[in-house]
Amino acid sequence: MTSAVFVDRDGVLVEDKGYVHKLEDFRMIPNAAEGLRLLGGYKLFIITNQAGLGKGIFTMGDFNKFSSHLLKELGKHSIKIEKMYFCPHKPEDNCECRKPKTKFLKDAEMEFGINLKKSFVIGDRKSDFEMGRSMGCRTIHVLTGDGVKHKNEVTPDYFAKDLVDAAQWIIENDKK
């Protein structure tokens, strides 16, 4: 079984202006691509809650266009995302896939042979860390996006200023 890094999308990889879905609003977070590039020895996944779909704020076509653009931009940096898992439901739908629920971590474990106890979750919100911690992953809170605003709500394994800092911590602490 292999280790992996699970990364939130909005506020970690791309600027989060609230229900971000338009290509003209696409902005990578500084150092996001460089941080993921440093993690090239890991299987990389994106797990994202996308309530804007369930609320009718944007369509699946909008989401797919935005996601394709993100993956294309990451590909320019030789970054391979194994899979993007997304929850299209509103919080009140009480679905099985919305973070902090662990469906997508379990799916990746089964589909890709991931050892979750040797894996990492990077996010900027409490739900990211609750999801990761409940499955035994080590958690990293990046202070990008809503990370600063939610800093006092969480106790991750590490606070990182950005994805480069997070990647360096993972590389240094992976064997511990």
Residue 128 among the catalytic residues: no
Q: Are 144 and 29 in contact (CB under 8 A)?
A: yes
Gap between the Cα atoms of 110 and 144, Å rounded: 31
* CB-CB neighbours of 16 under 10 Å: 20
- 62 annotated active-site: no
Looking at the chain, list the stretches that DSSP marks H as alpha helix, in order from N- to C-terminal side.
32-38, 51-54, 60-75, 103-112, 126-134, 163-173
Sign of the Cα pseudo-torsion (86, 92, 96, 98, in order):
positive
Single out the catalytic residue among 10, 16, 124, 146: 10
Closest CA to 122 of 159, 72, 75: 159
Q: Residues with catalytic annotation?
A: 8, 10
